[in-house]
Chain A
Amino acid sequence: MIELNRKDTSQPVLSVSNLSKKFGALVASDDVSLEVYPGQLHALIGPNGAGKSTLIGQISGLLSVDYGEISLVSTNISNFSPERRVHLGLGRSFQISNLMLEWSARRNVMLAVQAKQGGSFHFFRNVWKDESLRAAADIALAEVGLLERATVRADELSHGERRQLEFACALALQPKVLVLDEPMAGLGPEGTAAMTEFLEQLKSRIPILLVEHDMDAVFRLADTVSVLVYGKIIASGTPAEIRSSRSVQEAYLGNSDSAA
């Protein structure tokens, strides 16, 4: 493994250290360590089956950790429930759109605001007329540019709009860090360009761990790129360093035109 230089010495927002996970004989995560620093975007790339989804699963709490530690700011969250991690500020988006399809866009975001505010065991006050929820939801919708579509049911939104709506939900939770699982997937060239621009703006405010196959977007957005192959991080460094790394070329980018 090549250790490429790490420039930032400030406290990481999210740090994964020596994480390992086995499914039977298959090693899905092999001593993985990575950090996400304030104001930065850390991209995680790797071929299919490299263990990216397993890693995201462990970070978000859907999969248990065999060995190693995941810390959010300075709290060890390795054994926390997914919900508790969200409350502590771990935001995430899904590879496949994941929304309340029967609800309007606004209601989807209102649920996120409600989760942030608490009170899901309040039984009497009308939730849909709650101004504090509506106002916060509309701010998040405006932020992703979806405010004029607030009353449209999620299943009537376009694929790109659903992605925006997921971001609105994630932002409404005011996360300390965002873990994004292929946000460009299924978006056309225009959608990808718009999403890239959006993430560029967002990362200065909320640090991001990005798993993405679109190499143009990755190399444009990332401050740090880590390459995961067979559950192991084989290289980590600036986009320029990763591009010129021989072992990365061989293992992953070598025969791919999209890397150029």
Chain B
Amino acid sequence: MTREGWINLLILVALPVAALFAHINGEDYLTNLLSRMVILGLAGIGLNFALGFGGMVSFGHAAFFGLGAYVAGIAAFHAFDGSLFASIPFEIGGTNQMPAIWLVVALLVAVVAVLIGYISLRTSGVYFIMITLAFAQMLYYFAISWPTYGGEDGLSIYLRNEFPGVPVDRSFSFFLVSFGLLLVGLFLSWRFVNSRFGAALQGARMNPIRLSSVGIAPFPIKLTAFVISAVIVGVAGALFADLNGFVSPTTLSWHMSGELIIFVILGGVGRLLGPLIGAAMFVLLETYLGGITDRWQFFLGLILLCTVLFANGGIMGLLAGRAKHD
């Protein structure tokens, strides 16, 4: 196994062990903190699929994260008071079952990502960044001007959504479900990246003209990767809403898109577990440094600066060296 492989394994063992200790000691706060790392890490892994492996610097993935969060919130809202989301053309009620919510999130986010990706991927470079940002901001302004679901105040989830057979209202159980989804997300990314599709995708990033000259059109490959990436981020968003018991419109704002990019850059662009490391760092800084000073983001900025300047390949690059191919 490569050094990166060992580091990955270490991280994936350390997280549940830490959560178990927190749980045994009754430190629900710590368990939730670990869940937060895992969920944001999952979102980062989703973005990394597009950004790191496909070279698509999306500054609008908050659209998918927030959409996931809102679906979870809105479903819970209607399940809670028994009202209907829509009655035309047929009746759609709420649900508090996580798997059903995730399925809806995946489908809805996929449709939205096809639309956004189809238009955005016709541009590249800074135009791609701006157009994805514009789409996400459109959704953000839509959300804050929709009073039914809290508008600017956001939407509370009074009772955490349920997962069949697991008491997810308890912190540790919820962590385990989140961690399970993280593993699924990681497994899929890992397989996809090393598949024929992944080869074509990385080719599209490195040299689209070369890819086209062997007879593979880059556009459909990139669009598919964009959608897969969005779906992973969307499911993470749904989990995030359930973790906090609250859906804030800021999950749709450009700050969120920026944070997702920070996870990826901090941890290591195009490294499988990089974003998880990045998200963990971010949460730790936010929590502990944020407890000392309100200006913790200044230090986050410094760290990010050093990472970009001195650690080409992020923290994972620092730990495991340059990515290798045979």
One of A115, A122, A123, A151 near B215 (C-beta < 8 A)? A115
Q: Which segment, of A15-23, A41-49, A124-132, A220-228, faces chain B?
A: A124-132
Contact B217 A127 (CB under 8 A): no
B209 touches A98 (CB 8 A): yes
Q: Could you tell me the distance between the alpha carbons of A94 and B215 in the complex, rounded to whole angstroms?
A: 15
Q: Mark B195-228, 1 if CB is under 8 A from A, else 0.
A: 1111110110011011111111100010010000
- In the complex, A87 Cα to B206 Cα: how many Å? 21
Query: What A residues does B202 contact at CB under 8 A?
Result: 100
Shortest 9 CB-CB distances between A and B: which pairs?
Answer: A86-B215, A115-B214, A120-B200, A115-B215, A112-B214, A122-B196, A83-B217, A127-B199, A127-B196
Cβ of A104: which chain B residues have Cβ within 8 Å of it?
325-326
- Contact yes or no, B217 A94, CB < 8 A: no
Residues of B within 8 A of A83 (CB): 212, 215-217
> Given contacts A98-B207, A99-B207, is CB(A120)–CB(B196) below 8 Å?
yes
Which residues on B sit within 8 Å (CB–CB) of A123?
A: 191-192, 195-198
Asked if B194 lies at the interface with its beta carbon under 8 angstroms from chain A, I say: yes
Q: CA of A83 to CA of B202 in the docked complex: distance in angstroms?
A: 17
Query: What is the distance, in angstroms, from A140's C-beta to the closest C-beta of chain B?
Result: 12
Among the listed B196, B217, B326, which residue makes an inter-chain contact with A125, where contact means beta carbons less than 8 Å apart? B196
- Give me the interface of A with B, judged by CB distance under 8 Å: 60, 81-84, 86-87, 92, 94, 98-104, 106-107, 110-112, 114-116, 119-128, 130, 151, 153, 169, 173
Q: B200's closest neighbor in chain A, by CB?
A: A120
Point out which of B194, B199, B213, B216 has the most chain A C-beta atoms below 10 A from its C-beta.
B213
Contact with A111, one of B195, B199, B326 (Cβ below 8 angstroms): B199
Whether B214 pairs with A128 at a CB distance below 8 angstroms is no
Are A119 and B206 in contact (CB-based, < 8 A)?
Answer: no
Main secondary structure of the interface of B (DSSP, over half): helix
Contact A86 B213 (CB under 8 A): yes
Could you tell me the distance in whole angstroms from the C-beta of A110 to the nearest C-beta in chain B?
A: 7
Which of A83, A94, A169, A173 is most buried by chain B, counting CB atoms within 10 A of its CB? Answer: A83
* Per-position 1/0 for B288-326, Cβ under 8 A of A: 000000000000000000000000000000000000011
Q: Which residues of A contact B221 (CB under 8 A)?
A: 120
Q: How far is the CA of A126 from the CA of B202 in the complex (A)?
A: 14
- Closest CB in chain B relative to A119 CB, distance in Å: 5
Contacts of B197 in A (CB 8 A): 120-123
Residues of B within 8 A of A119 (CB): 196
Residues A107 and B325 in contact in the complex (CB < 8 Å), given A120-B200, A121-B224 = yes
Q: Are A124 and B191 in contact (CB under 8 A)?
A: yes
Q: How far is the CB of A179 from chain B (nearest CB, A)?
A: 11
Within 8 A of A (CB), among B175-205: 191-192, 194-200, 202-203
Contacts of A103 in B (CB 8 A): 206, 325
Query: With A120-B197, A127-B199 in contact, do A102 and B325 touch (Cβ < 8 Å)?
Result: yes
The answer for the CA separation of A119 and B211 in the assembled complex, in Å, is 14
Bound together, the chains give a CA A84 to CA B192 distance in angstroms of 25
Task: Give the CA-CA distance A153 to B210 in the complex, in Å.
Answer: 16
> Known contacts A98-B207, A120-B200: does B195 contact A173 (CB below 8 Å)?
no
Residue ID in chain B nearest A172 by CB atoms: B214
Q: Nearest CB to that of B198 among chain A residues?
A: A127
Report yes or no: A127 in contact with B195, Cβ–Cβ below 8 A.
yes
Evaluate contact between B213 and A82: CB separation under 8 angstroms: yes
Inter-chain contact A98/B210, CB cutoff 8 Å: yes
Contact of B212 with A82 in the complex, beta carbons under 8 Å = yes
Contacts of A106 in B (CB 8 A): 326
B191, B194, B199, B214 — which one has the most chain A CB atoms within 10 A of its CB? Answer: B214
Given contacts A127-B196, A127-B199, A153-B325, contact A120 B216 (CB under 8 A): yes
Instruction: Compute how far the CA of A228 lies from the CA of B216 in the bound complex, rounded to whole angstroms.
Output: 31
Q: How far is the CA of A130 from the CA of B203 in the complex (A)?
A: 17
What would 30 A/B residue contacts be, using CB atoms closer than 8 Å? A83-B212, A83-B215, A86-B215, A92-B213, A98-B207, A98-B209, A99-B207, A99-B210, A102-B206, A102-B325, A110-B199, A111-B200, A111-B214, A112-B214, A115-B215, A116-B215, A119-B196, A120-B197, A120-B199, A120-B216, A122-B195, A123-B192, A124-B192, A125-B195, A126-B191, A127-B194, A127-B196, A128-B325, A151-B326, A173-B215
